[in-house]
């Protein structure tokens, strides 16, 4: 029998904050059986034409940063995408065409881009998670449980904080927490969400789910879900203090996904909750 071949992982958005972290995880040989297979970045990227290993101080890796996502889908066993919604839309189409395993971490997807990812999962194993951390995925389960246990006399408010460079709001994680709470209350986030408050807005709408957003500094990601009742508040909080957390989760997800059957998966499948 042949020795198990290592899993070739391609990074889409390789020169970005998350892409670099993911590359470091793989090149640092933190994972037995994982190998960097391709590095793709945007057409204006500072890293194009450069060896990703050299850029990150690991020495030559043989993987040059390019814009050729189609070739990355051909060459790799699994692709990890931390880019922009537009880029993710194009990458989802490549996953559909190639059937290659595809991990989506990009947030802020609109309806069209979400539909592209869902379509890809008809022809490829696709794992999408707005937050690849174990803690946040446990939080999602806890929020659903508490929202169900405490009736709608407990108002649900979600607060999230992120660094000044983040381009989408509310965060994908805040929305995921909102979806979990709404589903547990037998409604949808679209129906229940109040995402902005300003001026003479009147009393709080019963059953609504408020989401408020902070942007500033280098906050990696804080999320608090508050259940506010008469005479008490229950707060569930998660604080990310190391972006490597998401990168480790993404690589773990890729290694888990690469040989799974066609279909849609989330980080909760990887963690087993």
Q: Is 63 in the site for ligand NAD (CB under 6 A)?
A: no
We find the least distance from the C-beta atom of residue 141 to ligand NAD, in angstroms, to be 17
Closest CB to ligand NAD among 123 and 163? 163
Phi-psi region of 199 (alpha: psi -120 to 50; beta: other; left: phi over 0): left
For the question of residue 162 being annotated catalytic, the response is yes
Q: Is 154 in the site for ligand NAD (CB under 6 A)?
A: no
CA 160 to CA 25: how far, in whole Å? 27
Q: Is 83 in the site for ligand NAD (CB under 6 A)?
A: yes
Looking at 48-56, 102-110, 152-160, 202-210, which segment touches ligand NAD (CB under 6 A)?
102-110
For the question of residue 91 being annotated catalytic, the response is no
Binding mask 12-51 for ligand NAD (x = CB under 6 A): xx-xxxxx--------------------xxx--x------
Owner of token pair 């500072």: 46
Closest CB to ligand NAD among 13 and 178? 13
Tokens read off for 139: 């939080």
Q: Is 84 in the site for ligand NAD (CB under 6 A)?
A: yes
| Residue 70: Cβ within 10 Å count | 15
Instruction: Tell me the CA distances in angstroms from 111 to 89, 117, 148, 265, one per residue in order.
Output: 11, 10, 28, 18
Q: Is 82 in the site for ligand NAD (CB under 6 A)?
A: yes
We find the least distance from the C-beta atom of residue 184 to ligand NAD, in angstroms, to be 22
Report the residue from 246, 251, 255, 270 that binds ligand NAD according to the rule CB under 6 A: 246
Which residue in 71, 163, 166, 260 is the catalytic one? 166
We find the least distance from the C-beta atom of residue 243 to ligand NAD, in angstroms, to be 7
Which residue in 91, 162, 238, 258 is the catalytic one? 162
CA 161 to CA 140: how far, in whole Å? 17
Using Cβ positions, the residue closest to ligand NAD within the complex turns out to be 16
Looking at 80-88, 142-150, 190-198, 228-236, which segment touches ligand NAD (CB under 6 A)?
80-88
CA 50 to CA 53: how far, in whole Å? 9
Report the residue from 105, 125, 170, 178 that binds ligand NAD according to the rule CB under 6 A: 105
The whole-angstrom distance between residue 211's C-alpha and the CA centroid of its chain comes to 19
Phi-psi region of 110 (alpha: psi -120 to 50; beta: other; left: phi over 0): beta
Catalytic center residues: 162, 166
Residues that bind ligand NAD (CB under 6 A): 12-13, 15-19, 40-42, 45, 69, 82-84, 87, 105-108, 129-132, 246
């Amino acid at each position: 029998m042949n020795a198990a071949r290592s899993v070739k992982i391609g990074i889409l958005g390789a020169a970005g904050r998350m892409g670099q972290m993911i590359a470091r995880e793989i090149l640092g040989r933190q994972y037995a059986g994982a190998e960097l297979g391709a590095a793709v970045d945007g057409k204006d990227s500072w890293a194009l034409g450069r060896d990703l290993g050299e850029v990150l101080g690991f020495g030559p890796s043989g993987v040059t940063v390019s814009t050729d996502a189609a070739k990355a889908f051909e060459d790799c066993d699994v692709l990890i995408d931390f880019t922009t919604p537009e880029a993710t839309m194009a990458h989802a189409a490549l996953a559909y065409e190639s059937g290659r395993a595809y991990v989506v971490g990009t947030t802020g997807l609109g309806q069209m881009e979400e539909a592209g990812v869902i379509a890809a999962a008809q022809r490829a194993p696709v794992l999408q998670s707005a937050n690849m951390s174990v803690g946040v995925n446990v939080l999602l389960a806890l929020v659903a449980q508490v929202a169900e246990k405490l009736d709608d006399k407990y108002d649900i408010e979600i607060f999230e904080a992120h660094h000044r460079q983040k381009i989408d709001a509310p965060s994908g994680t805040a929305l995921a927490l909102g979806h979990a709470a709404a589903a547990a209350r037998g409604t949808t986030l679209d129906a229940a969400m109040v995402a902005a408050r300003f001026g003479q807005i009147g009393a709080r709408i019963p059953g609504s789910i408020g989401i408020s957003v902070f942007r500033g500094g280098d906050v990696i990601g804080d999320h608090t879900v508050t259940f506010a009742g008469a005479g008490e508040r229950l707060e569930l909080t998660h604080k990310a203090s190391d972006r490597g957390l998401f990168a480790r989760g993404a690589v773990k997800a890729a290694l888990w996904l690469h040989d799974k059957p066609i279909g849609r998966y989330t980080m909760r499948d990887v963690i087993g909750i």
